[in-house]
Structure 1
């Protein structure tokens, strides 16, 4: 979920907090209390438990062996990382933090940000020097107040040229100064003479507490005699579900016949919000299967035996007792890119068996797994959390499937109309001439026929980093459903 722009996670190298275990001879064995929470939480919930031998229920023959195992790790983070399945290739998204207050703020939309979102590219004809191009400026943020616009370029921070070795350090601080730059192609189609020129205008940016409204922009266009709604939605954040319903009330009141949903920079968020938005787009599928869930084999078996409905997420027609404003559409246009992840992909994938989803843009990120916040309590909930520390985990606990079982889209979802953004000519978001939006409008004007859209000539830049990828949890898909105590008690390692 893209709502925290700066979360500091302080790693503790050595911990003295201990808990006690009784072995078969009733001898007291000391072990790290936080590491005990880490192992037990991962043993119960981790999606890839079956692939990690150290998480097997019969891994330890005695409490003493278990305590010795925990004490082999200098810090809970080390233990946690040792239990992750294929960090680079499969599980890129499980995390642990030592401050769950900061995590909760992160997940609810309170964070520190200067309001700048950007992509970092290699400068032309360089193997080391970098430039950043602004793709989005958050409203009323420090960057917005100081006049930074989408498409602005900078290649120095605090007077230092950005390079492959220093960009992460320079851009991770709460305060820094950038110099606006220009891209000069010297009037030729070749890139061999292209240069980036740093200007004299400097802007100091400060990361301040910020609460992002994911409803970035809404418009209603008249296309071929019908009203077309446009919504740029940048995060599935439960705090704004009611306001989202109000947006659809306006669309409904204006007899919107087509909808363009812009998720190009939406890295995800809560499954519950994805269900609500999908139900507002449709409305005719109330109670039908939106998505299903696959947990680790032990959890899956117990849920199927005890409460199989828990594995199913269904379309709805209400939100907190209030009727949803649904458009009953049979087709939706979704603008999505590599920056569209998790809950954004869930929406596309889950709507696909029911209505015509016209995906315009690029392949999406490829995250089909969901996580849950685990606290050090008897049932891993916030209530009753151990007062001796503030650690929490956000491990992957399930993967989502649509109604017909489609999942594991590791390489992302395939666009119907492939059209990449040109970062040297981004256009204005919500403007009918902006490339991706123009493609959707052209498709509507052509009575739903797939058409070939040619964007303006674009220079292929080598992408190094997306600003959101600096942020832990930025592309999480979060579930918050209650798990019945009886199921949890049967699984919890004793």
Structure 2
């Protein structure tokens, strides 16, 4: 059957492509796929390596339309187009482990500001070696959430949802399915043995939950040394002022050492990471924090000031930064620490001693930018331009667009950043976050003072994690660039 082509003419967005610079037309029903292909062809970090994103991929309009129609489901179209350059499509071993899409850009934009639909329970999922059964362990409770009103706390264990044992095969449906309300069946832990008990907790996911990423900010004194402790669970730009206030508190309290707890922090805003790094190290705006590396199309079009981020002396609102001006910082990080968390560690490494306590981090060194169907802005989302977004296409993409390297040019940590002091969390003794007896904090105190409130760091039941609740949020472990990207395309 002869294909019916739409009447809309696709605007030229590329200044340096070849045959795909020609204005192809496309059927209205492939509007989303067209947006995705055009955006990826211009911005995707591995565009040159992805066969279906090549500038000379399509020789005729019919070839282009045939490809757009190949995957009617936009989500499938996106992942196939991104991942087909990998030998294992969509697998965890693919080059691109992190690009994703969302069917409504507003959901994604809200998530960037820390606003989500959640019951407020943050947890990990683990298993005993050799078992397909899973159990959850509570990491922390988000204040002012549904979970904060229930009888459940950090360190507790659950094995069942609505009476069904959690397994490798069913945990996604049971915990992250369509139902907003579920009942957790709790359990006891003794040594390495998990035993069901009769306690049940009913939780409900609610719209509009705002998580302040600063869960704990306090100063403790051990043997005359004042140590600031910051439990920071997400690089959320809306809380930069509060973060600066916390560092002002540390300075007022006379802290001379700092422990930054990023063990559950999956990342977020690059700019928030820059501000945190400045609060730790210093506010010399002539010193380079990180430099971006884009694909070959984009790199040469960006000016030096667009590619480089320097340490800051003020917040975005113009508030003077409260910096501790440290020579050493102690960072608690695990396999759940990713993207902007790793960026802080890597960005600070050329300037001060970063003592990493915990486990090897996730290994996410690429950044992304939110993309929407706003062709006049090169598909880049900008607040205030919502009326310019195609009302017939609300999809958003968050594709990887580049890598951040530190001032020494290092960015190769796709296998994660290895700890200086190896210490896993102990499920039989998770401790209280911010307490000097909590194992990871206690180990940092030992490094700082040579004295510890906890003498034995033997881990009786190490976490053998399968996944965690943050990996099922909209942002997952994404790192996003939140500064303007203005390119003078011809």
**Which TM-score applies when normalising by structure 1?**
0.87
Report matched runs for 1:450-469 at 5 Å: 454-460=456-462, 462-469=464-471
Q: Which residue of 1 aligns with 2:145?
A: 141
Q: Which residue of 1 aligns with 2:189?
A: 183
Q: 1:461 to 1:484 in 2, by over 3 A?
A: closer
Is 1:102 paired with 2:100?
Answer: no
**Distance (Å, rounded) in 2 between the aligned partners of 1:167 and 1:241:** 35
Report matched runs for 1:300-339 at 5 Å: 300-303=299-302, 307-319=303-315, 320-339=317-336
Q: 1:315 to 1:36 in 2, by over 3 A?
A: same
3-state SS in 1 of match to 2:8 = strand
Shift of 1:94: 0.6
Shift of 1:350: 0.4
Q: Which residue of 1 aligns with 2:76?
A: 78
Match of 1:396 among 396, 400, 405: 400
Contact 1:229 / 1:259 at 8 angstroms: preserved in 2? yes
Contact 1:223 / 1:444 at 8 angstroms: preserved in 2? no
Q: Which residue of 2 aligns with 1:256?
A: 255
**Distance (Å, rounded) in 2 between the aligned partners of 1:65 and 1:453:** 68
The count of residues paired between Structure 1 and Structure 2 equals: 458
Q: Which residue of 1 aligns with 2:17?
A: none
Q: Which residue of 2 aligns with 1:9?
A: none
Is 1:122 paired with 2:127?
Answer: yes
Shift of 1:213: 0.3
Q: 1:236 to 1:19 in 2, by over 3 A?
A: farther
Shift of 1:241: 0.4
Contact 2:425 / 2:462 at 8 angstroms: preserved in 1? no
3-state SS in 2 of match to 1:177 = strand
Is 1:434 paired with 2:430?
Answer: no
Q: 1:18 to 1:327 in 2, by over 3 A?
A: farther
3-state SS in 1 of match to 2:471 = helix
Q: 1:417 to 1:50 in 2, by over 3 A?
A: same
Q: Which runs of 5+ in 2 are unaligned?
A: 11-19
Shift of 1:107: 1.2
**Which TM-score applies when normalising by structure 2?**
0.88
Q: Which residue of 1 aligns with 2:13?
A: none
Shift of 1:331: 1.0
Q: Which residue of 2 aligns with 1:228?
A: 227
**Distance (Å, rounded) in 1 between the aligned partners of 2:9 and 2:394:** 22
Contact 2:46 / 2:295 at 8 angstroms: preserved in 1? yes
3-state SS in 2 of match to 1:105 = helix
Report matched runs for 1:261-410 at 5 Å: 261-303=260-302, 307-319=303-315, 320-378=317-375, 379=377, 380-382=379-381, 383=385, 384-410=388-414
Shift of 1:460: 4.2
Shift of 1:110: 1.1
**Distance (Å, rounded) in 1 between the aligned partners of 2:152 and 2:397:** 36
Q: Which residue of 2 aligns with 1:241?
A: 240
Shift of 1:26: 11
**CA RMSD, aligned part only?**
2.5
Shift of 1:255: 2.1
Q: 1:236 to 1:101 in 2, by over 3 A?
A: same
**Distance (Å, rounded) in 2 between the aligned partners of 1:148 and 1:423:** 16
**Distance (Å, rounded) in 2 between the aligned partners of 1:467 and 1:276:** 26
**Distance (Å, rounded) in 2 between the aligned partners of 1:146 and 1:441:** 33
Shift of 1:50: 1.1
Shift of 1:29: 5.6
**Distance (Å, rounded) in 2 between the aligned partners of 1:77 and 1:25:** 26
Contact 2:290 / 2:347 at 8 angstroms: preserved in 1? yes
Q: Which residue of 1 aligns with 2:33?
A: 35
Contact 2:263 / 2:332 at 8 angstroms: preserved in 1? yes
3-state SS in 1 of match to 2:436 = coil
**Distance (Å, rounded) in 1 between the aligned partners of 2:34 and 2:24:** 18
Deviates more, 1:326-335 or 1:338-347: 326-335
Is 1:443 paired with 2:447?
Answer: yes
3-state SS in 1 of match to 2:263 = coil
Q: 1:446 to 1:24 in 2, by over 3 A?
A: closer
**Distance (Å, rounded) in 2 between the aligned partners of 1:460 and 1:221:** 27
Q: Which residue of 2 aligns with 1:11?
A: none
**Distance (Å, rounded) in 2 between the aligned partners of 1:132 and 1:29:** 47
Is 1:164 paired with 2:164?
Answer: no
Q: Which residue of 1 aligns with 2:156?
A: 152
Give the number of the structure whose residues are more often strand, by fraction.
1
3-state SS in 2 of match to 1:404 = coil
Q: Which residue of 2 aligns with 1:419?
A: 423
Deviation per CA, 1:395-423: give whole Å up to 9, x if none: 00011111111112111101111111111
Contact 1:214 / 1:234 at 8 angstroms: preserved in 2? yes
**Distance (Å, rounded) in 1 between the aligned partners of 2:255 and 2:228:** 6
**Distance (Å, rounded) in 1 between the aligned partners of 2:156 and 2:336:** 19
Shift of 1:170: 1.1
Q: 1:74 to 1:310 in 2, by over 3 A?
A: same
Contact 2:45 / 2:295 at 8 angstroms: preserved in 1? yes
Q: Which residue of 1 aligns with 2:56?
A: 58
